Amino acid sequence: MTDLRWPSAQPTLDASGLTLRPWRPSDADAVYAACQDTEIARWTTVPSPYERAHAESYVGPASTGAWLNKTAANFAVVDPDGTVVGSFGLVRMTPSQGVAEVGYWVAPGARRRGVAVCAAAAVTQWALRDVGFARVEILAAVGNAGSRRVAERIGFTLEGVLRSAGAGRGERLDLAIYSRIATD
């Protein structure tokens, strides 16, 4: 059993100029637009087709409830001007074991400028240092070169490949499993 320091209110995190904050209802337009992207549909578990109602739930009751129930921690990543550029957080948690998975997407127009490296590092540091998780995982499809590079850039260790562990759109996916542990 692992004791976690899980605050009652979701915090805001700084990440080298980016801010990770709780989702707000006014973010629904940005999430709806980003999640029309074919790469997000291909590599993540967000619903596809992605409807307006999915976005409204995600930026409201789904994320609020997940925080309260300690099942996930979803953060909006915003630029200094307030533009939503991504979604990062702990998407699958086993608090009793002290283990969580980092999940993410970056909006198509904000890619290839370091958003994922900054935001994923911030979430990982918060989970391991502040909350007290012992282990944080990233599971990326073997063919998802961008996500795998993000895991490598922020110091995760490749442990192997989970065969047919992901349900892609019409195909099974082999998932590369990466981890960082608190003592790394």
Ligand X SMILES: CC(C)(COP(=O)(O)OP(=O)(O)OC[C@H]1O[C@@H](n2cnc3c(N)ncnc32)[C@H](O)[C@@H]1OP(=O)(O)O)[C@@H](O)C(=O)NCCC(=O)NCCS
Q: What residue ranges bind ligand X (CB under 6 A)?
A: 39-40, 43-44, 104-106, 111-117, 140, 144-147, 149-150, 153
The residue (of 21 and 92) whose beta carbon lies closer to ligand X is 92
Cα–Cα–Cα angle for 169, 171, 172, nearest 5°?
Answer: 115
Q: How far is the CB of 80 from ligand X (least distance, A)?
A: 16
Distance CA 63, CA 76 (A): 10
* Other beta carbons within 10 Å of 19: 17
The residue (of 3 and 172) whose beta carbon lies closer to ligand X is 172
Spatial neighbors of 167 by CB under 8 A, at least 6 apart, are 173
Q: How far is the CB of 54 from ligand X (least distance, A)?
A: 16
Distance CA 125, CA 12 (A): 13
The residue (of 61 and 113) whose beta carbon lies closer to ligand X is 113
Q: How far is the CB of 50 from ligand X (least distance, A)?
A: 13
The single-letter code of the amino acid at 62 is A
Which residue's C-beta sits nearest to ligand X? 146
